[in-house]
Amino acid sequence: MKKVLIIEDDSILAESIKGCLAHQLYQIQIESDGIKGYNKAANEDWDLILLDINLPVKSGFVIARDLRKQGIETPIIAITGRSDTSSRITCWQMGFDKILQKPFSLNELNSCVEATLKRPEHNSKQILNYLDLEYDDSLHCLKRENTYLPLRKKEVDIFLFLLKNKGRVISREKLYKAVYDWDSETLESTLDVHLSHLRRKLNTGRASKHEYIKTIHSRGYIVE
């Protein structure tokens, strides 16, 4: 049975998460403030930690940072209502494995937990290089010359999937299904928006523009 620690000061949300995961036969414990949550996370063995960013006494950012400094590699999911790029980058830098954006559905919660528990350990992180870009699996971020690009998670997901299929034309349908949940209600037109933003951001800070992602008419997309 997997042991899961929830560090969340919203008691209603914490109990809702607990009830959802308990059905999956996870052993759940809840802490509502940063200090107690940190001590529990640091001194006991856990398979997963769900950690709120805005906590009293000690923030989720600080908790994650301090756990990683101790060499604790337990997967950590950030629970946050923040959607700005700066907060997301800080999550990756502090050592979070995934970000669960409030408000989220129980299906999204279950999918996120299952995917995080299946991820390899931090010490087996993968680094992929493409031209002047570097993808760091442990942070799920793209960077250029040690500067993190201001990408949203879905934008990183899109580029990573295309990069892992380098040299292959990926159809629009396949890319959509790979990046968004199978039961997602997200419109396919959202993919166009993410692709547009991704292409623009990939060229941010470059002296000359480069077509990182090529569109193959009526067939799909490719990273060559």
pLDDT digits (tens, 9 = 90+) for 74-132: 999 999 988 788 888 888 888 888 899 888 888 889 888 988 887 655 444 556 788 88
Q: Position 177: which residue type?
A: K
Residue 146 pLDDT greater than 80, yes or no: no
pTM of the model: 0.57
156 and 179 together in one domain: yes
Q: State the distance between the two ends of the chain, measured CA to CA, in whole angstroms.
A: 44
162 and 88 together in one domain: no
133 and 118 together in one domain: no
119 and 141 together in one domain: no
Tokens 């995934």 label which residue?
Answer: 98
60 and 27 together in one domain: yes
CATH code of the domain covering residue 196? 1.10.10.10
**Which of 110-114, 119-123, 183-187, 189-193 has the highest average model confidence (pLDDT)?**
110-114
142 and 218 together in one domain: yes
CATH code of the domain covering residue 72? 3.40.50.2300
Number of domains composing the chain: 2
10 and 22 together in one domain: yes
Question: Token pair for residue 205?
Answer: 């800070």
Question: Residue 11's pLDDT is what?
Answer: 93
Residues of the domain holding 148: 127-222
CA-closest candidate to residue 130, choices 160, 150, 107: 160
68 and 31 together in one domain: yes
pLDDT tens by residue, 16-67: 999 988 887 789 999 999 999 999 999 999 999 999 999 988 999 999 999 9
188 and 100 together in one domain: no
